[in-house]
Structure 1
Amino acid sequence: MGTTMSPAQRLAVRKTYKLFIGGAFPRSESGRSYVVNDAEGSFLANAALASRKDARDAVVAARKAFPGWSGRTAYNRGQVLYRVAEMLEGRRSQFVDEVAASEGLSRTDAETAVEESIDRWVWYAGWADKVTQVLGSANPVAGPYFDFSVPEPTGVVAVLAPPDSSLLGLVSVIAPAITTGNTCVVLASTDRPLPAITLAEVLATSDLPGGVVNLLTGQVAEVAPWLASHMDVNALDLTGVDDPPLATELERSAADNLKRLIRRPEVEPDWTADPGIERIAAFLDTKTVWHPIGM
């Protein structure tokens, strides 16, 4: 007969943290990883160190997913995003543990941060079918025509996530990009990537189509230049860049194909404040349609 191993003898199953590309969890094609420590400097995990090839693969996946995601009704996108919030709630305890370890917060403060993250996701989900009414318009014209201006998603958005706010800040930059039909490639916080990887697991098991959100872990200085210069990336969020010269270099690269841009802030925003709809509007184009009256 076999013997039963006591809890003290049991070896924990160590998690291998991977990238999230096209709805799957590949290792970096380079085979590299890096050490992730908690806020006190103790070892937490090894995370995949994304390469230029990984970034390119993520952009391909995001572009492939764009027609289907942008083509859904706004109401359906809202439903899908609300389902993500439901699943975030279901893994609340795990997120609290990871946010507390990553950011050095007390459990009470970590619980508050996770609750605000879930509420923020719900808030953006609610905007999915309201953006057109707020940012669109029926324009007065001098002639027998209807003239409408309608906001539309710009395409693939590359997002450099906030370095400090590992979940609330992350949600606050991903959700507004995808709510309106964009797809995105996200480079998680280098030092605090674990909540982002767990969020990717939530997205993978939700109703969100593969490729709508693609998540990379690694070094901003290594990966960001390839995203900024990629000609199939339509917009760039520089919130997570804490190096001013690098931010300037990325802006110059982004100008080559006229990417929409959120510039590097002087200090990381207060993610607990009312987010407004500026981030939603930042990644929209406006299409104006004329139509003869009576035809």
Structure 2
Amino acid sequence: MSDTAAARLGVLKTYKLHVGGKFPRSESGRVYEVTDSKGNWLANAPQASRKDARDAVSAARKAFGGWSGATAYNRGQVLYRVAEMLEGRREQFTAEVAQAEGVSKAKAAARVDAAVDRWVWYAGWSDKVTQIAGGANPVAGPYFNLSSPEPTGVVAVLAPQESSLLGLVSVLAPVIVTGNTAVLVTSERRPLPALSLAEVLATSDVPGGVVNVLSGRTGELGTPLAAHQDVNAIDLTGAGPELARDLEIAAADNLKRVLRPARTDAAAADPARPAEEDWSADPGTHRMLPFLETKTVWHPVGA
């Protein structure tokens, strides 16, 4: 076969948003180029608009009742199915993480494996978080006093800017395993693993609208989400210090729960540097508990 016959045209990919279980283009029609660490073009990503953010919130609100009403066991099984599918597409995610983060294939594979393990870890917490966030309260009187956690609602999540998959899983999984629905804003420069994760979610058992994925400018999307009256909480991990401060002020208007970005020693020394956690560390439970409300029930003894 000649070299001419063997040559193939490149298949150029333009990703789409993931809203309400569907894959729409950005309402504005905008896209932006995503490049690797050396500046080589990888794909076009949709540049979501404020209208897209509002549509994502509506989809998340619509899905909240069914997802929060599912049994904890069922949510755990659904999340475990996502882990199975991530494992099946391990090579794809390894290539995407290597290109996005500029690391070797071996390091990228280790980060993908850690992300899958992290997803399984959170799936296992679905029917256990109640044991640490609720319980019987001692009271003086002939009453039972029981507290139990319930999901807070729609959570906007600004994904980490540097960790394209492990950090993404670390902020998304704890939101949905506890029964919340999410509007996820991907890393601005490294959105492709998140957009591929949306494709996994769409073909898994996760109901449409439980996770809505938007790519684009973090500041442009974070502002309407922080101010939106139907968003109950916001995770500011992917916001720089100035943007995080502005979004926190906007979130105070309707008393949103706010999870502030952690500050590493290096980030604390340079206030202009984005906060970045050690995503390989033990995650603990601190990302699940902020997005839970506590319901307390009193019941007379013997009744």
Deviation per residue, 1:222-278 (Å, 9 max, x gap): 110000000000000000012x22211100110111111111333300000000000
Equivalence for 1:286:
294
The 5-angstrom pairing of residues 143-292 of structure 1 reads 143-242=141-240, 244-266=241-263, 267-292=275-300
Q: CA deviation at 1:160?
A: 0.3
Equivalence for 1:117:
115
Q: Which amino acid aligns with 2:259?
A: I
Distance 1:180 1:221 in 2: 27
Of the three residues 60, 63, 66, the one matched with 1:65 is 63
Q: CA deviation at 1:163?
A: 0.2
Identity between Structure 1 and Structure 2 (%)? 68
The 5-angstrom pairing of residues 18-167 of structure 1 reads 18-167=16-165
Q: CA deviation at 1:11?
A: 2.3
Q: Which amino acid aligns with 2:300?
A: P
Distance 1:246 1:105 in 2: 28
TM-score (norm 1): 0.96
Q: Which amino acid aligns with 1:269?
A: E
TM-score (norm 2): 0.94
Specify every segment of 5 or more residues in structure 1 that has no aligned partner in the other structure, as ranges. Answer: none
Q: Which amino acid aligns with 1:276?
A: G
Q: Which amino acid aligns with 1:271?
A: W
Q: CA deviation at 1:13?
A: 3.1
Q: CA deviation at 1:9?
A: 3.6
What is the SS of the residue equivalent to 1:184? strand
Q: CA deviation at 1:173?
A: 0.3
Q: Which amino acid aligns with 2:24?
A: P
Specify every segment of 5 or more residues in structure 2 that has no aligned partner in the other structure, as ranges. Answer: 264-274
Distance 1:145 1:229, change over 3 A: same
Distance 2:243 2:259 in 1: 14
RMSD: 1.2
Q: CA deviation at 1:7?
A: 6.2
